Amino acid sequence: MSQPIPPMVSGALPVLGHALEFRSDRTALVRRGFEEHGKIFGIKLANQNVAILVGPEYHRTFFMETDKALGIQEPYSFLRSMFGEVLFLAPHEVYLEQRAVVLEAFRREKMLHYADVMQEVVQAWLDGLGDSGEMELVSEFVRLVQEVAGHCFLGREAHQQLGREFWDLYTDLAEGLDPLLPPNLPLPKFRRRDRAKAKMQGILEPIILERRQHPERYDDFLQDLINKRYPDGRLAEQDLIVNMLLGLMFAGHETTVGQAAWTIILLLQNPDYLRLVQEEIQQVAPDGVHIDPKRMTQLEHIAWAVREVERMRPSVDMLMRTVKEDLPVGDYVVPQGWLAQVTQDVAHNLPVLFEDPDTFDPLRYAPGRAEDKQDRFALIGFGGGIHKCIGMNFANMEMTVITALLFRQFDLELVTRHPQVERGLGASRPDKAVVRYRRRNP
Ligand code: HEM
């Protein structure tokens, strides 16, 4: 190796390195490294070295080298205990086959259908709120996003048949997420995870069997998974269907909950911009008007607010890869055996790309400014390259529908004035956000 390895951030403890600081505030640690060394530097998590890459030029290397010099499977291997070998957890050839199947779920006609379903489900939720009251956004959205996913991917009938029990089991499964501990430790949360998974399989099995016998009765994503024939002619095994379905719901659940909640919170904290959003709703899709595809694209102030939330409050605040062969990056080489990491929380706040980055300013995406278009790897809340989020348009549309329908029917006020970012083992989200609401035309 002729080039040097990335310089280490100060403050590493003997044995533990930066592990404690990473656990307590990983963003602050990366910010400090950036101030000390610039765009490439290293941290040490116990005996694991991690190269942190900041900024679009190095994000490009990170995303374009994935599945080449960088591996995606190892950092996510803890997900295998929940979903088996699906998508990027499967061998590369199998991944490509499965990805093609999943992409079909998001083709244009399907998206048009989901837009209608989303409006129905969100309206049903709003109808159930009564004329006034208080609600905690995160817990409301946990259920709402489940309802949307259930109705879109399983179909209304199957979703109703599954009932709330399914989502209670889903919660047990999701709470088994732990990137740090060995997944087979005899801990209560891992036992609950395995029990929930087995029960969900038991619930879905007869549904899948019935659908295999009467495929003509259904036209939804679950049916696409069931009907799909792989290049060698075989149908997907039941286990794979269940794992793909659960994996997809998992990838899209907490992530959407967090960013949807922040969209409402940041709009309420920025009344001037909220006024623009409300005027737009009045012009494009006033109360009672269905949001058809044309209207959806005209809700651009909402779309910019949703993008600003992706920048300022990304649900996925960092991504990791394993370095499988020495990787030259800038003036350094990241040695094989290290991890590589990109950190949305820090990279989305670079003042060279985003003017006054701490300010909520969705107009930065308007024509003429288009700060996000300077580089395709500037904004990476949905990742980049081959593994870029498959559900991005779905999630953005869902957040647009929630925002438009909520603000056109209700006046809202933040009771929790300053919700904080809660960074758990999975996606980030607001810790608690109570809002007071009043229906405009009771
Ligand atoms: C605001 C909501 C969402 C955010 C912030 C988000 C974020 C991300 C990110 C950052 C990645 C890249 C991971 C990596 O490179 O390591 C990703 C991948 C993925 N996301 Fe999302 N996601 C969201 C919603 C969804 C939804 C709604 C779905 C599906 C229903 C979904 C399904 C997936 C899948 C399947 C992948 C893996 C793609 C692949 O490896 O080819 N996501 N997501």
Query: Ligand 1 atom closest to Cα of 388?
Result: 12
Distance 259 CA to ligand 1 centre (A): 13
| Rounded Cα–Cα distance for residues 245 and 238 (Å) | 11
Which parts of 75-187 fold into alpha helices (H)?
80-83, 92-104, 108-127, 137-149, 156-174
- Structural domain includes residue 237: yes
Is residue 33 scored above 60 in pLDDT?
A: yes
pLDDT tens for residues 189-240? 999 999 999 999 999 999 999 999 999 998 888 998 899 887 788 888 899 9
CATH number at residue 136: 1.10.630.10
Distance 153 CA to ligand 1 centre (A): 16
Q: Which residues line ligand 1 (CB under 6 A)?
A: 72, 87-88, 99, 102, 248, 251-252, 255-256, 259, 315-316, 319, 381-383, 387, 389-391, 394-395
The amino acid sitting at 84 is: G
- Structural domain includes residue 336: yes
Collapsing DSSP to helix, strand or coil, 9 comes out as coil
| Closest residue by CA, ligand 1 atom 26 | 252
- Centre a 10 Å sphere on the Cβ of residue 92 and count the other Cβ atoms it contains: 11
The amino acid sitting at 181 is: L
pLDDT at 159: 85
Segment 170-184 shows an average pLDDT of 88
| Closest residue by CA, ligand 1 atom 21 | 389
| Rounded Cα–Cα distance for residues 394 and 251 (Å) | 12
Query: Ligand 1 atom closest to Cα of 260?
Result: 1
| Closest residue by CA, ligand 1 atom 27 | 252
pLDDT tens for residues 49-60? 999 999 999 999
What residues have CB less than 8 Å from 272, skipping those under 6 apart? Answer: none
Provide the β-strand partners of residue 328. Answer: 333
Among 93, 142, 255, say which to mutate for ligand 1: greatest number of ligand atoms within 8 Å of CB: 255
Ranking 115-124, 244-253, 390-399 by mean pLDDT, the lowest is 244-253
| Closest residue by CA, ligand 1 atom 41 | 387
Among 89, 98, 151, 382, say which to mutate for ligand 1: greatest number of ligand atoms within 8 Å of CB: 382
| Rounded Cα–Cα distance for residues 276 and 301 (Å) | 7
pLDDT tens for residues 300-348? 999 999 999 999 999 999 999 999 999 999 999 999 999 999 999 999 9
Is pTM beyond 0.75 here?
A: yes
- Report the sign of the C-alpha dihedral through residues 277, 106, 378, 376, in that order: negative
Q: Containing domain of residue 146, as a range?
A: 54-439
Give the model's confidence band at 1: pLDDT under 50 very low, under 70 low, under 90 confident, else very high.
low
Ranking 110-114, 258-262, 329-333, 421-425 by mean pLDDT, the lowest is 421-425
pLDDT at 126: 98
Distance 375 CA to ligand 1 centre (A): 20
Task: Report the percent of the chain where pLDDT is more than 70.
Answer: 100
Query: Ligand 1 atom closest to Cα of 427?
Result: 5
Segment 347-360 shows an average pLDDT of 97
Residue 258: closest CA among 316, 307, 303: 316
DSSP letters for 311-361 = HHS-SS--EEEEE-S-EEETTEEEPTT-EEEE-HHHHTT-TTTSSSTTS--
pLDDT tens for residues 367-392? 999 999 999 999 999 999 999 999 99
Helix axes 271-284 and 392-409, enclosed angle (nearest 10): 90
Residue 27: closest CA among 348, 414, 396, 413: 348
- Centre a 10 Å sphere on the Cβ of residue 33 and count the other Cβ atoms it contains: 26
Residue 263: closest CA among 438, 395, 130: 395
| Closest residue by CA, ligand 1 atom 12 | 383
- Structural domain includes residue 35: no
Distance 103 CA to ligand 1 centre (A): 12
Number of separate domains in the chain:
1
Residue 183: closest CA among 46, 191, 16, 168: 191
Distance 399 CA to ligand 1 centre (A): 15
- Structural domain includes residue 7: no
Q: Which residue has the tokens 């370095």?
A: 323
| Rounded Cα–Cα distance for residues 79 and 98 (Å) | 17
Query: Ligand 1 atom closest to Cα of 395?
Result: 27
Distance 316 CA to ligand 1 centre (A): 9
The amino acid sitting at 433 is: A
Number of H helices, E strands in the chain: 15, 12
Distance 256 CA to ligand 1 centre (A): 10
Collapsing DSSP to helix, strand or coil, 177 comes out as coil
